[in-house]
A and B are shown apart, each in its own frame.
Chain A
């Protein structure tokens, strides 16, 4: 089935207690002296401040519980975790989830009265429970089922009519709610409020009629809704993509890392009958605390899509036609040889690689080295410069514990959702103050201590004047600053971001930087050798060179410049101008359609390797199912190609690549051990490496003032967009909001059009038609358009060679 051994990881997902640290203490706690507690007659050393329920678990005395979740504040609602604690007036029954340990405390978890109380609560929880386990998705992995068995009375005396509700009702596009099964533990509602900040579900009614419900006409449209399904202790919440797909005992699972974005959340991949069926979050202390975003959780659907490329395709007069791997590889070899013969290695360029594993990137980089190909860039002119990536890097934990977090990047909620949760938590728990610089409101604005607006192009000016504010200046002067920096606006040159960061660093020289990268393995691709080393190797220059006819062979490694490059016109000219194009991808994308040769690639879940997240943390990714069709991992294509081109890469299988990385890449010495433990989760927290990327100088920016009747464009990404792995996931595809142009409501009259009407958006180079929307989140004079939305093409009006993009908006 898969090349990895499946292990039973059940306890990794459900409520595994976070190690050592709780959310309120610094990343590296002092070694604890320990609190002596007697649990069931045995003395146990507990952590100071630990809750009795956790201390009992550590001491091997499991206390049944439902509402308690180690990553959320205890509420003591279900009353299942009652234990006896000796007090001044004899043993007292207390809820262990809300009682902290104390020196000399005597706890009993199994006396007859505790057992009676626990059985009583369980009987009451089951009184109104429908007991439809045979048709319930949770059956087999259900805490209520399990604990009814282990701690319940065995039989119910309840003879009365049970509560009845309509079963189940959709509360969002992804989640169904069965109120009959709900035990009102407040986990989902607490998660929505406390963790996600999307207070869209709540209790309504009272007493026995209490229900979880959304507000009228407001669905539970949270980017994090899947977590509620995972933490629901019964089958009350089910996720549309998994409903009735499998029984838990049919699932096999391995631990892996989500590579949908660069946060790199830990997951388990679960499959049955060789089909990916579910991803669940795993609690990784440094990274995701058990949470996943819905895009990362449900995106695997695209790997199961029947539109996946199953065989190589070759361009013929009749268009792309299926061919065999051997024919395809011969063609690839010919295309390389031909290009090398025509103009040498400078005629070959490799774009992409940031969506693959480190091993994929390393194999391709080694092949490029051998052939002398220097034009390579894993980012598509939409990423960050080496000057930013090379700054002393913060970890997620450092960012989430810093005194000041400066946000100089896109909306984290849209781009790096779980990082958003971590930083939001830091702000909510009053650990950190957030100082946000943004052209418009973001999902983080309401948690920010200060949120400063600026007009695109003038970020550095805005930063300098804000930092002159005495209050801000003293906050920064207190030190412990982390700057979360990324491209806030794809219609603005990355030099603007760089200049703004320089202005911050001038005021806070010791600040660390956490880079915001959209694609999963940008860091790894850069470190493994795909980083550009000169200006002419950068994506924008590669595209220009291709457009000008200087590129004989363009290799796209999972790259789709037509969709992802901010300048669509340049990308289009480049693909047309490149003599030959080879694309290695999982799907036929707008760019692959132009290729001479398309090689089907293995997707995540199908291939093993490692990935490096935005912190520079390398974690293993694991294969769970057989590859789709005849698809191959990218590294295999490179190895095969090298052999055909008579190049010795020094390895010819995955283990060889891993060994070679360990031997040659700085900081990766432990990679083999890390990879060896991939399936069992021993590599969960990974290894941190410092990625150093060649720096290429950036021209200083020239920004013109906006002409008063123009609007300055802000183009940024939404979580759900036209990316293939979103659009090919049936549950996620409809969630992309679609293209529209949003202005401040006060600007509507100036445009003379109403919300919802079609308007013409005219740039210096070309124009496009979009739906007009209005929101106070956008300051006057600016216009915001989400990037790469289905049916929209704002990249048509963006010119990579200008610093900012101004447009006119006219009614049709």
Chain B
């Protein structure tokens, strides 16, 4: 390969190769033929016939690819946590993507299902799993349909199942649909759901999935996007992947941008070097804020992240940088709010999501998120009281002691603290908007009340 691939020039809007979105615009990209004609399944063949599982694992380790599901843990390192010699072990693919604003995995499954399947097969080979479970969010009908078709073709072509491509490697992939619960995206809840139980997270510790996961056997849970990158890594080598983006955030990464930008969508951008401003403003990406307005706040990494404000716009989309600034890139969902946004209402919408999606297993989240939601709703409805703001923060404190970042939690899983992020962000930065609501029962001048109190607000 080339010596130093320079996919971006400092100061310019960086671009890069399409590692995993290359077939998004290809009409037949989701079919077996469409995939094979564009180089599909070569990585699998190479891995199975030319490489040992350890070599495959090494390439992924070299790539330093961070998991794309939220926590950003390097995939190669995670695979290394499997206890030696314990079988059966399972590979579980997390396709439950349900966080508001996140829709990258859906597109990966709808438009390039074979790429995911190939990634799954290679990963299973690397970790020694003979069974993989692909768990797809229940509402994603098209993704399910295309995965079924793709998996059928893959089986028919001896790419999945027994003695794949004539080698002695065998693995089965089982497709499973969710039943409409965001929390099942949390890996241990997903495992519970796979086992046929209610989708409620398990407490970690004592057991982490890599040691005791599905059916108490060693289990690797990876996000769809994470595994979709694996074929490219095998084809081009971990080092070439590592050379893209920043050393602290390697490769290309998909961000799903929504909100008040001119052209929302998913963008595969060089990881770690692109800035938020470039992403929002560059014509090849979102093309600016709508109506020529400016950014009031934005959520850098999914609804559970702390909010960012205009002062963060020139920050690079780099995991350690964003972490240090007190938020996260999480699931890669960026929500942009312009100057007309009612912060109290925005905050309520997100808190409502988490309170509805709380699984109910632990007290602080079950009771706390609902309480928060009700206070916010009451404020929006014009019945706020001055002490409400303190109560909001006190309840937040009961869920997430210190209201710090990264959050500490009294809960079992991070969903509870997720509801704290919007409140902590909005109340700290826009306290006057809350106070205005409490005093006058309506938002401050210049923000759109109707967008929230209209039909959307009460669905």
Residue ranges of A at the interface with B (Cβ–Cβ < 8 Å): 75-80, 82, 93, 95, 98, 100, 113, 116-117, 120-121, 123-125, 127-128, 157-161, 183-184, 203, 205-210
User: B360–A206 contact, CB under 8 A?
Assistant: yes
B367 A203 Cβ-Cβ under 8 A: no
Task: Among B358, B366, B385, B397, point to the contact of A120 (Cβ < 8 A).
Answer: B397
Q: Can you show 26 pairs from A to B with CB atoms below 8 A apart?
A: A77-B362, A78-B363, A93-B410, A100-B206, A116-B397, A120-B397, A120-B410, A121-B364, A121-B398, A124-B363, A124-B367, A124-B368, A124-B371, A157-B391, A160-B375, A183-B363, A184-B360, A203-B198, A205-B360, A206-B359, A207-B358, A207-B366, A207-B370, A208-B355, A208-B370, A210-B366
Known A76-B412, A120-B398: A207·B364 in contact at CB below 8 Å: no
Instruction: Assess whether A208 is in contact with B366, with CB atoms less than 8 Å apart.
Output: yes
Check B363 against A79 for contact (C-beta < 8 Å).
Answer: yes
Range of interface residues on B (Cβ < 8 Å)? 35 or more
The chain B residue sitting closest to A126, CB to CB, is B367
Q: Provide the residues of chain B in CB contact with A121, threshold 8 Å.
A: 363-364, 398, 410
Which residues 361-420 of B have a CB within 8 angstroms of A? 361-364, 366-371, 374-375, 378, 385, 387, 391, 394-395, 397-399, 401, 408, 410-412
A163 CB, nearest partner CB in chain B, Å: 9
- A113 to B411 alpha-carbon distance, docked (Å): 15
A207 close to B355 (CB less than 8 A): yes
The reply to whether B364 and A203 form a contact with Cβ atoms under 8 Å apart is no
For the complex, would chain B's binding face be called helix, strand, loop or mixed by DSSP majority? helix
- Judge whether B364 and A77 touch: CB under 8 Å: no
Closest to A118 in B: B410
Residues from chain B with a CB closer than 8 A to the CB of A157 are 387, 391, 394
Chain B residue numbers with a CB within 8 Å of A120 are 364, 397-399, 410
Complex interface: chain A residues within 8 A of B432 (CB): none
Asked if A124 meets B360 with Cβ closer than 8 Å, knowing A98-B203, A117-B398, A160-B378, the reply is no
| Contact of B364 (CB < 8 Å), options: A75, A79, A158, A208 | A79
With A124-B371, A157-B394, A158-B371 already in contact, the answer to whether A93 and B364 are too (CB < 8 A) is no
Q: In the bound complex, what is the Cα–Cα distance between A193 and B366 (angstroms)?
A: 23
Q: Which residue of A lies closest to B409 (CB)?
A: A93
Query: In the complex, how many angstroms separate the beta carbon of B248 from the nearest chain A beta carbon?
Result: 21
Contact across chains for A208 and B368 when beta carbons are under 8 A apart: no
Q: Name which of A95, A100, A113, A124 has the most chain B CB atoms within 10 A of its CB.
A: A124
Partner of A93, one of B378, B401, B412: B401
Residues of chain B with a CB closer than 8 A to A184's CB = 360, 363, 366
Residue of A nearest to B408 (CB): A93
Residue of A nearest to B391 (CB): A157
User: A124 and B203: CB pair below 8 A?
Assistant: no
Interface centre among A95, A117, A120, A183 (most CB of B within 10 A): A120
* B356: Cβ under 8 A from any A Cβ: yes
Cβ proximity bits B330-368 to A, threshold 8 Å, 1 near / 0 not:
000000000000000000000000011111111110111
Report if B252 contacts A (CB, 8 A).
no
Cα–Cα, bound, A669→B360 (Å): 56
A205 to B370, CA, bound (A): 15
Assembly CA distance A46 to B387 (angstroms): 46
Q: For the complex, what is the distance from the CA of A76 to the CA of B412, rounded to whole Å? A: 8
Expressed in whole angstroms, the Cα–Cα distance for A447 and B229 within the complex equals 46
Contact assessment for A124 and B364 in the assembled complex, using a CB-CB cutoff below 8 Å? yes
Closest-by-CB residue of B relative to A207 is B358
Q: How far is the CA of A348 from the CA of B397 in the complex (A)?
A: 80
- Say yes or no: is B181 at the interface (Cβ < 8 Å to chain A): yes
Contacts of B397 in A (CB 8 A): 116, 120
By a CB distance below 8 angstroms, the chain B residues around A75 are 203
Apart from A98-B205, A121-B364, what are 15 other A-B pairs with CB-CB below 8 Å?
A79-B364, A79-B411, A98-B206, A117-B401, A121-B398, A124-B364, A124-B395, A125-B363, A125-B367, A160-B375, A161-B374, A206-B358, A206-B359, A207-B357, A208-B370
Instruction: Report the Cα distance A535→B203, complex, angstroms.
Output: 63
Question: How distant is A201 from chain B, measured CB to nearest CB, in Å?
Answer: 13
Least CB distance from A612 to B in Å reads 42
